[in-house]
């Protein structure tokens, strides 16, 4: 984890992050905290805040990149005495950060929990939510503790509870620690889990904005997305849009992991190139290793290789070269590690995390694991590559109930494309050339005269 923060134009999200001791309420206020919430709740109507967020161009940071304001605009709003108004409306922060290679939300949750609390007040006010939940990945124990402390402080200072700061708006905020399941990162599966049901994603329509948690209007937003709100409300739209030079507004927390010199997280204006992140911030590959490829946004994105390194890391540009920005955290593959083994490892994860609802994901991912395992252990056949290609097609978008399987397929299909030779080598030579044990076995076996099929 890098300690030295590279100076860039503005780093609103991480500027006051302190992992040793996150800012208390008063410290947070000294840094301008709760100003945004004050503007929103005391000086604007919910509709005005909605317009601000829409016009800011803020997009979801959880991986989908959907415009946040537009998402909120589908929530039905009611007058105070309207008898058709549902008894509750909900705001949920998706803090179930389980995408492999992603740890940006953890930084925010552990390092500056008040920022999220303030953000949820703003968001809750805008959509008319009276109850809010932080759906927190259960393994983030420290974050749970720190968030609850921040929430307690906020209640004390009348930023939560009845009639916030003397306004007519009330909000109850709870931390809910999940039992630990990747699929809970999918917003409708998250809602089911919050209701105490099995974490299967829901069919849409209805969309959560209309019928979500307990059948009521609900908004689910990523932690990083929400964390932008205090700053947008405090500093204004022009400021937010001026951060980044291109059409995607604001800053983003980028990350890198793998065998690079300085893995970590860096908040930067939207759009640095892959090369900049990899070499300028992550320090390039460790000594003795060369760059082979990377997944630009977490495990469920397509591989990009050397030819793509000058692509800017924004949603459109990465999509144009055949991958996804996703969460913006790089997973870097070096040339001394087996791509087949990497993909096998990822596929095992997805097969384990499949919720078991729909056939292609539930039965397709373990099938892919079976094939990849055999290939990795030198028992693959040339037909297996066709099988893998068919499985990639079988589990693609539109054929499954949610995006887990298509995400699982992205590293596999891009690996088949870019690392085809490695797959062939495993099959033809009956071993993994990156693995000395495997190599040794094969040499023995080869000398014993085994025919390689």
Partner 1 sequence: MSVSNKNSVTIFIDDQPYQVSTEDNLLAGVLSQKLNLPYFCWHPSMGSVGACRQCAVTQFQDENDQRGRLVMACTTPVTDGMRISIKNAHASEFREQVIAAMMTNHPHDCPVCAEGGECHLQDMTVMTGHSAREYQGTKRTFTNQYLGELVGHEMNRCITCYRCTRFYNDYAGGKDFGVYGSKNQVYFGRQTDGALESEFSGNLVEVCPTGVFTNKAFSAHYTRKWDLQSAPSVCSHCSVGCNLSIGERYGSVRRVMNRYNPELNGYFLCDRGRFGIGYVNGEERLRQVKGISQQSPVQLSTLDIAKALSHFRLKNFIGIGSARASLEANFYLKNIVGNRNFSVGYNDSEMQAAAQHAQLMQLGRTPNLAEIETSDFILIVGEDITQTAARMALSVRQALRNAAIAKASSIGIPSWQDSAVRTIGGTLLSPLFSLNSTTTKLDDVAEQALLIPVERMSLCLQALEKLLSLGNKKIVEKHINEHFLQDPFLQEQLSSSEQHFVITVYQGLCRANKPMLISGTSLVNAELLESIAKLMLSFKQDNGITEPGLIITPPYSNSVGALSLLDEHSLSIEQVLTKLSEQVDNEKLLKLQGVIVLEQELAKCSENQIQQLRALAETLIVLDHSENRLTKLADIVLPVAAVSEGDGHYINYQGRAQKFTQVHPPVLPIQESWRWLDSIADTLGIKVSVENTSTAPLSALAGGSANISSKAKTMTKNTSCQSLLQLHQFFAQHYPSWPELIADIDSESNDRATARMSHRASGRTSQMANISVHESKTTQKSDDDFRFSMEGASIRQTSNMPFAWAPGWNSNQAIGQYQEHINGTLTQHSKANFIAISADLANNTHWQLVNKVASDSDKIDYSESVPNSLSYVQQQSIYFSEWQAALTPEFKMLKQSNQLFISNVTAEKMGVKSRQWCKVVFSATNEQKQLVSQTVIGQVMVLANLPPSLVFGNFPLCQSLTHQLEMKITAAEAQEKTDHLSQFNDDVLAAKASKEAVLKRLKENDQTIPIRLVSGGLNDA
Binding mask 177-206 for partner 1 (x = CB under 8 A): ----x----------------x---xx-xx
359 touches partner 1 by CB under 8 A: yes
Counting residues that bind partner 1 (by CB under 8 A) gives 36
Stretch that binds partner 1, among 105-113, 132-140, 266-274, 367-375 (CB under 8 A): 367-375
Of 367, 418, 419, 434, which lies in the binding site for partner 1, with binding defined by CB under 8 A? Answer: 367
Contact 22, 110 (CB under 8 A): yes
Using N-to-C axis directions, what is the helix angle for 141-156 and 113-127, rounded to 10°?
60
Stretch that binds partner 1, among 7-15, 104-112, 122-130, 361-369 (CB under 8 A): 361-369
Those residues whose C-beta lies under 8 Å from the C-beta of residue 197, and which sit 6 or more positions away, are none
Contact 282, 273 (CB under 8 A): no
Per DSSP, what are the bridge partners of residue 264? 256
211 touches partner 1 by CB under 8 A: yes
Q: Name which of 302 and 353 has its Cβ closer to partner 1.
A: 353
Stretch that binds partner 1, among 17-25, 315-323, 331-339, 387-395 (CB under 8 A): 387-395
Of 54, 275, 362, 441, which lies in the binding site for partner 1, with binding defined by CB under 8 A? Answer: 362
206 preceded by cis ω (within 30°)? yes
Separation of alpha carbons 327 and 101, rounded Å: 9
Q: How far is the CB of 136 from partner 1 (least distance, A)?
A: 20
Of 24, 67, 138, 214, which lies in the binding site for partner 1, with binding defined by CB under 8 A? Answer: 214
Helix residue spans in 92-140 (DSSP H): 104-111, 113-127
Those residues whose C-beta lies under 8 Å from the C-beta of residue 93, and which sit 6 or more positions away, are 116, 119, 120, 132, 133, 134, 135, 220, 221, 222, 223, 226
Stretch that binds partner 1, among 24-32, 90-98, 346-354, 426-434 (CB under 8 A): 346-354
Judged by CB under 8 A, the chain residues 400 through 439 that form the site for partner 1 are: 400-401
Query: Which tokens hold the place of 156?
Result: 């004390």
DSSP 146-194: HHHHHHHHHHHTTSSBSSGGGSS--BEEEEEE----GGGGSHHHHHHHH
List of residues contacting partner 1 (CB under 8 A): 181, 198, 202-203, 205-206, 210-211, 214-216, 351-360, 362-367, 370, 374, 387, 390, 394, 398-401
């Amino acid at each position: 984890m890098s300690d030295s923060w590279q100076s860039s134009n503005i780093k609103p999200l991480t500027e006051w992050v302190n992992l040793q001791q996150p800012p208390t309420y008063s410290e947070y206020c000294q840094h301008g905290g709760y100003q945004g919430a004050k503007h929103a709740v005391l000086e604007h109507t919910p509709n005005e805040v909605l317009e601000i967020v829409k016009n800011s161009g803020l997009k979801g940071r959880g991986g989908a990149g959907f415009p946040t304001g537009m998402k909120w605009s589908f929530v039905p709003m009611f007058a105070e005495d309207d008898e058709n108004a549902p008894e509750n409306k909900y705001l949920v922060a998706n803090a179930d950060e389980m995408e492999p290679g992603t740890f940006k939300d953890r930084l925010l949750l552990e390092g500056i929990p008040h920022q999220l609390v303030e953000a949820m007040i703003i968001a809750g006010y805008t959509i008319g939510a009276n109850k809010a939940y932080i759906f927190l990945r259960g393994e983030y124990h420290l974050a749970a503790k720190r968030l609850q402390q921040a929430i307690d402080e906020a209640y004390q200072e009348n930023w939560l509870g009845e009639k916030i700061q003397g306004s007519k708006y009330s909000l109850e905020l709870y931390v809910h620690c999940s039992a630990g399941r990747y699929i809970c990162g999918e917003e409708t599966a998250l809602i089911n889990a919050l209701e105490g049901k099995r974490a299967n994603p829901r069919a849409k329509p209805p969309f959560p904005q209309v019928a979500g948690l307990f059948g009521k209007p609900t908004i689910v937003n990523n932690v990083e997305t929400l964390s932008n709100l205090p700053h947008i409300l405090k500093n204004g739209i022009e400021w937010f849009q001026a951060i980044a030079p291109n059409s995607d507004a604001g800053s983003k927390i980028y990350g890198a992991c793998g065998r690079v010199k300085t893995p970590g997280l860096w908040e930067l204006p939207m759009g640095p190139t892959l090369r900049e992140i990899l070499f300028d911030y992550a320090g390039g590959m460790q000594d003795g290793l060369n760059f082979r490829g990377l997944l630009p946004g977490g495990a469920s994105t397509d591989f990009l290789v050397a030819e793509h390194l000058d692509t800017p890391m924004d949603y459109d540009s990465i999509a144009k070269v055949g991958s996804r920005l996703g969460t913006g955290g790089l997973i870097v593959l070096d040339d001394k590690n087996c791509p087949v083994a990497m993909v096998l490892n990822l596929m095992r994860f997805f097969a384990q995390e499949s919720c078991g609802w729909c056939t292609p994901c539930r039965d397709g991912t373990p099938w892919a694991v079976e094939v990849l395992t055999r290939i990795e252990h030198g028992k693959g056949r040339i037909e297996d590559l066709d099988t893998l290609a068919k499985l990639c097609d079988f589990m693609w978008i539109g054929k499954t109930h949610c995006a887990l399987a298509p995400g699982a397929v992205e590293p596999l299909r891009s690996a088949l494309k870019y690392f085809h030779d490695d797959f062939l080598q495993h099959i033809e030579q009956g071993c993994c050339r990156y693995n000395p044990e495997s190599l040794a076995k094969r040499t023995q076996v080869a000398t014993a005269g085994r025919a390689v099929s």
